[in-house]
Structure 1
Amino acid sequence: MPADTTPGAAAATASLAGIQNVPGVPKPDPILVGSSISRSFGGLKAVDVEHLEVQRGVITALIGPNGAGKTTLFNLLTGFDVPDSGQWQLNGKPLHKVPAYKVARRGMVRTFQLTKVLSKLTVMENMRLGATGQRGEKFWSAPFRSLWKTQEDEITTRAEDLLTRFKLDAKSEDFAGSLSGGQRKLLEMARALMVDPELIMLDEPMAGVNPALKQSLLGHVKSLRDEGRTVLFVEHDMDMVRDISDWVVVMAQGTIVAEGTPQQVMADQAVIDAYLGTHHDTDISEADETEVEAAADAELDQEADRG
């Protein structure tokens, strides 16, 4: 487990104690459960997940080489794409064929690898839009400000608190399009919390973020767990995975090939094969080595003749 002594980390460690590190392993208290989820594009099967459970209250990393199907799985689970088959539930309630906005209302929100801020609105306006159930958005009540002013004030106060927490309060009246890439990531994470979600799904939260903001983002992800929320994130940075994740799920060619603690999966042969190829550790004979060297020398000679 990560070297973290926060109460959230301790609770996560306890909740995962004794779980086998095998693909699709049942969890003691899963918040998200999916089975037989598949999605094909033409002749390519991008996702073929037999079973997946995400433990409540922990940080789970979803890793794998490029093209493994991680983002496609995110899109399916959050209603941004439709599967060919499969079922999944949040807190025991089915989400299959539920549109993305209703998935968010049920407590599962996501961010994107390429940020989706509304660049021509201010940071504060982006935050207000993240809140759900706003009476001022309804046709019959919109003309009567007295019906929704109190709620809007409460939403604004919550947005101000979150912007302060994410150190964006000084930017609240700036256009979101003027923010740096890292600040946009922070804004997306803060806006996601306007829904007060139980499960937050982060798609490569560190992509394109400068080192100065990376540590800040890491701290914010850990704080989500310490508040009792569940985090599922896609990431390629293995140092980050080791640092903050309590559990790791590994995908390769659309399927889940391994699960376990960061230490377990980093030593798992299926993970090594997925990242480096199944024959990366095969010994080469002296004769084979001589043949490879001779072929390379011949190619160099041909290049020299052509030159």
Structure 2
Amino acid sequence: MAAETQSVTAPGQTKENAILVADNVVRTFGGLRAVDVEHFEIERGKITALIGPNGAGKTTFFNLLTGFDKPDTGAWTFNGESLSGVAPYRVARKGMVRTFQLTKVLSRLTVIENMRLGATGQRGEKLLSSVFAPLWRDQERSNTKRAEDLLERFKLDAKRDDFAGSLSGGQRKLLEMARALMVDPELIMLDEPMAGVNPALKQSLLGHVKSLRDEGRTVLFVEHDMDMVRDISDWVVVMAQGKIVAEGPPDDVMADPAVVDAYLGAHHDTELSFEDEAKIVAEAEAEIEAEIAETEEQS
């Protein structure tokens, strides 16, 4: 069904120009169904936020789409090409890259060395050609120039020769984002880009995410900062208990009862009668007394 004929926040909407499409993606851990996504699409050239309470399955879904984990069932395509079972490094080469909630910079390498590692197809990494410097020297110069331009853009050029381990949490996030651009990706997936970032760097990161869209790139990000979601998102997708429960423009999604229930629990606004409230208090007191009695017996 076309998006125009659905309610604004109906999950699984079809997009006009989808760059990523996933169907029936399921991942279980024992008896827990961590991801259970029937249909999911990302529109090209837009910023899409993936939100939901802790444990909703957002990062696991990221891991599945980028090849860092394998689903029980499901299939997905990027630019119409299947990515099911494709290794993470091959996913990146196809133009779909990601960052991590806990940054993956190489602490004992310098900032510029971290950047060079982000480039793909380096001839100097092959055993035979590595012996002959003329075969890879020009390419390395080109990669270094691109890396330096990106460091300047992300205001990390002054840290060029510092060890990556000396950077602050926010600077590491910037470095990881800059390194992701070394492959000139079409789709960038950011896992909680604001986590652990001080307020001074948050606005800088926000600006950089917006600039990615201005360049024509597609952005999908996981985030808990609702102010950020409202500020930069074109579209919001909500996960709860592994499923997509709503999606739509930010303001419409934030007002959706399904979204409120996902974050606060169903019937969170139901008024309690005096009898119900007294019963809850009595049960809580009984649990506390039982714990005290058990502690006394053990002592």
TM range (shorter): over 0.9
8 Å Cα contact 2:46-2:213 kept in structure 1: yes
Deviations 1:174-227 (A, max 9, x none): 000110100000000000000000000000000000000011000000000000
TM-score w.r.t. length of structure 2: 0.92
TM superposition shift of 1:287? 3.2
Which one of 151, 156, 169 corresponds to residue 181 of structure 1? 169
**Pick from 88, 94, 99: which aligns with 2:76?**
88
Question: Which residue number in structure 2 is paired with residue 235 of structure 1?
Answer: 223
Task: Give 1:42 shift.
Answer: 1.0
Residue 146 of structure 2 aligns to a residue in which SS?
helix
User: Relative to 1, partners in 2 of residues 1:167 and 1:44: Cα closer, same or farther, differing over 3 Å?
Assistant: same
| Residue 135 (1) aligns with residue 123 (2) | yes
Q: Take 1:144 and 1:93, find their aligned partners in 2: how far apart are those partners? A: 36
The answer as to 2:108 corresponding to 1:120 is: yes
Aligned mates of 2:281, 2:252 — CA distance in 1: 37
2: CA distance, partners of 1:191 / 1:17: 38
Partner residue in 2 for 1:213: 201
- Partners of 1:245 and 1:206 lie apart in 2 by 14
Letter in 2 for 1:270: A
TM-aligned CA deviation for residue 290 of structure 1: 4.6
Aligned-partner SS, 1:60: strand
Paired residue type of 2:201? L
CA–CA distance in 1 between the matches of 2:9 and 2:261? 17
Please say which of residues 218-227 and 276-285 is displaced more in the overlay. 276-285
Task: Report the counterpart of residue 9 of structure 1 in structure 2.
Answer: none
Q: Which residue identity is paired with 1:203?
A: D
57-66 vs 278-287, greater mean Cα deviation: 278-287
Structure 2 unaligned blocks of 5 or more: none
Partner of 1:63: 51
The one-letter code of the counterpart of 1:26 is T
Q: Please show how residues 5-24 of structure 1 align to structure 2 within 5 Å.
A: 20-24=8-12
Distance 1:265 1:133, change over 3 A: same
Identity level (%) = 74
Letter in 1 for 2:98: R
Q: How many aligned residue pairs are there?
A: 292
Equivalent position of 2:90 in the other structure: 102
Compute the displacement of 1:139 (Å).
1.4
Question: Which position in structure 1 is the counterpart of 2:186?
Answer: 198
Residue range with higher mean Cα deviation, 103-112 or 135-144: 135-144
Distance (whole Å) between structure 2 residues aligned to residue 246 and residue 127 of structure 1: 29
SS at match of 1:21: coil
2:182 and 2:85 map into 1 onto residues whose CA distance is 24
Shift of 1:18: 8.3
1:149-298 equivalences in 2 (<5 Å):
149-292=137-280
Q: CA deviation at 1:291?
A: 4.6
Which SS does the other structure have where 1:167 is aligned? Answer: coil
Question: Pick from 27, 32, 36: which aligns with 2:20?
Answer: 32
Distance 2:68 2:128 in 1: 29
| C-alpha contact 2:9 2:256 (8 A) present in aligned 1 | no
1:140 match: secondary structure: helix
**TM-score of the two chains, using structure 1 as the length reference:** 0.90
